[in-house]
Homo-oligomer: A and B are copies of this chain.
Amino acid sequence: MAETWVRMVTAQTPTNIAVIKYWGKRDETLILPVNDSISVTLDPAHLCTTTTVAVSPSFVQDRMWLNGKEISLSGGRYQNCLREIRARACDVEDKERGINISKKDWEKLHVHIASYNNFPTAAGLASSAAGFACLVFALAKLMNAKEDNSKLSAIARQGSGSACRSLFGGFVKWNMGKFEDGSDSLAVEVVDEKHWDDLVIIIAVVSSRQKETSSTTGMRETVETSLLLQHRAKEIVPKRIIQMEEAIKNRDFASFAHLTCADSNQFHAVCLDTCPPIFYMNDTSHRIISCAEKWNRSEGTPQVAYTFDAGPNAVLIARNRQAAARLLQKLLFYFPPNSDTDLNSYVLGDKSILKDAGIEDLKDVEAFPPPSEIKDAPRYKGDVSYFICTRPGRGPVLLSDESQALLSPETGLPK
C-alpha cells in the first residue's frame, strides 16, 4: 500500500442527561455501575461532539486534539477504548483509492483524533459522555468493526460511564449487567427520539465560583462512605427504572416528571450523605427547583421536570412547547442577565421558543407581570450564565461531507 494516504471518518454524537441517575461504581477499572440508569439524548444540533479519526501509515504515534488543543492519550480511559476497538478491527478495502488494510495491520497503524464540542467544555454539560461515545463510534467505523451500537456502548463505557448512553437517540437505558467482565453492562434504546417529540428541554447554565468535586472522585467517596447509597441502588432504583420505562413508553408526563425530580434529588441526597459531603447544587439551583415546584403545584399537574448532574446547572424538561414558552418567561423574569448581555447571547439553541414566549427583546421580559405563584420573589440578576433551548435528539451519525472533517485529508493534522 502507498505510504501517503490518509483515511478518515467523521462522526457526530449527542450528549445525554440521566433522568434515573448513575452514581457509584462497583468496578472502577471496567466502570461498572451499582445500578441501572436511564437518560434522554439531547439534540446534537445544540449539544454534541464532532470527532474525526484518521489513519495513515505516515502517522508515527496516536495523537489527539480536543477543541484544537493537543491532549495526552496516555490516560487509561483512552487506552482502554483504543485497545478494545483495535481488537475488533476488520479488513478495510477502498478500491477507488487503492487502500487495503488487513485486520492485523491495525495493531501497527497509528490514529489521529480531533474532537470538538459545540458547547463550552467546562460548563458541566457532560462533554465526556459525548466525547467518548463519539471517539468509540468513529474509531469503530474507521476500523470497520462490525459491532452494533449496544456492543460499542460497552466500550465507550470504559472511557466514561455515561458515554455508553450516548450511542442511541431518544431515551436510553444503561443496564448495569451482572458479568464480572462487564460485557453485559451496556446501553439499549428505550424509545427513539420520535416517540415523545413534544418535550422541550431548557438548560440553565448556572454561574458558580465553586470548584466542584469530579464525578469520579465523588462517586468513589459516596460508595465508600454513604450509608444510604446501597439502599438506593438495591431497593429504590430497580423499582424506579421499571416505572420510568413505563412512563416513557406511555408518554405519561406526570409520572415522568415525578420520577425525574425525585431521582435527581435523591442522587444529590446521597452526595450530601457522603463524608466529606459533596454539594453540587448551589442557591441558584435551589431557586430554580423552587420555581419549578411552585409552578407545577399551582398548575395542579406537572408542567416541567428538573434534573441536575454533578454541578449546579439545571436541565428542565417541559411537557410541550407551550409549557416551555411559559417556563422561559418565568426563568428570564427570575434570572435576568447582567446588563451587558443581550438576549441573543443569553438564550442559545432553539430560539423559536423565545418567539413562542413573545420575547423579542429583554425589555419584553420586564413588561411581564411577576409569575403569580411566587409573590414578591426577588430577582437574581447574573446568577444564570445563559440558557440553552433544545429537545430530545438522535444518536450518533457519520458525517459524509468532508468539509466537516476536523483533520486535513492531506496531512491528517487539525485543519
Report if A261 contacts B (CB, 8 A): yes
> 1/0 per position for A236-268, CB-CB distance to B under 8 A?
100000000000000000000010011001101
Given contacts A275-B262, A277-B289, are A269 and B228 in contact (CB under 8 A)? yes
Report if A270 contacts B (CB, 8 A): yes
Cα distance A258–B277 in the bound complex, in angstroms: 12
Residues of B within 8 A of A266 (CB): 227-228, 272-273
**Residue in B228, B236, B286 whose beta carbon sits within 8 Å of that of A232 in the complex:** B228
Cα distance A270–B262 in the bound complex, in angstroms: 12
Residues of B within 8 A of A262 (CB): 273, 275
In the assembled complex, how far is the CB of residue A20 from the closest CB belonging to chain B, in whole angstroms?
A: 13
Q: Say yes or no: B276 contacts A293, CB within 8 Å.
A: yes
> 1/0 per position for A219-234, CB-CB distance to B under 8 A?
0000000011001100
In the assembled complex, how far is the CB of residue A212 from the closest CB belonging to chain B, in whole angstroms?
A: 12
Q: How would you classify the secondary structure of chain A's contact residues: helix, strand, loop or mixed?
A: helix
Number of interface residues of A (CB under 8 A): 29
Report if A183 contacts B (CB, 8 A): no
Interface residues in A273-303 (C-beta closer than 8 Å to B): 273-277, 279, 282-283, 286, 289, 293, 297
A225, closest chain B residue (CB): B262
Cα distance A272–B226 in the bound complex, in angstroms: 15
**Residue in B209, B270, B276, B293 whose beta carbon sits within 8 Å of that of A269 in the complex:** B270
Residues of B within 8 A of A276 (CB): 261, 289, 293, 297
In the assembled complex, how far is the CB of residue A255 from the closest CB belonging to chain B, in whole angstroms?
A: 13
Report if A378 contacts B (CB, 8 A): yes
Q: Say yes or no: A272 contacts B272, CB within 8 Å.
A: yes
Residues of B within 8 A of A236 (CB): 227-228
Residues of B within 8 A of A231 (CB): 228, 231, 235
Q: Say yes or no: A258 contacts B286, CB within 8 Å.
A: no
Residues of B within 8 A of A289 (CB): 276-277, 279
Cα distance A255–B98 in the bound complex, in angstroms: 72
Q: Say yes or no: B261 contacts A269, CB within 8 Å.
A: no
> 1/0 per position for A321-343, CB-CB distance to B under 8 A?
00000000000000000000000
Residues of B within 8 A of A277 (CB): 261, 265, 289, 293
Residues of B within 8 A of A227 (CB): 232, 235-236, 266
In the assembled complex, how far is the CB of residue A302 from the closest CB belonging to chain B, in whole angstroms?
A: 11
Residues of B within 8 A of A228 (CB): 228, 231-232, 236, 266, 269
In the assembled complex, how far is the CB of residue A304 from the closest CB belonging to chain B, in whole angstroms?
A: 13
Given contacts A228-B232, A266-B227, A266-B228, are A209 and B378 in contact (CB under 8 A)? yes
Cα distance A232–B273 in the bound complex, in angstroms: 11
> Which of A265, A270, A289 is packed against the most chain B CB atoms within 10 Å?
A265
A240, closest chain B residue (CB): B227
Report, nearest first, the 9 A-B pairs whose CB atoms are least far apart. A269-B269, A269-B273, A276-B293, A269-B272, A265-B277, A231-B231, A283-B283, A279-B286, A227-B236
A-B contact pairs, 6 of them (CB 8 A): A227-B236, A228-B232, A262-B273, A265-B277, A277-B293, A279-B286
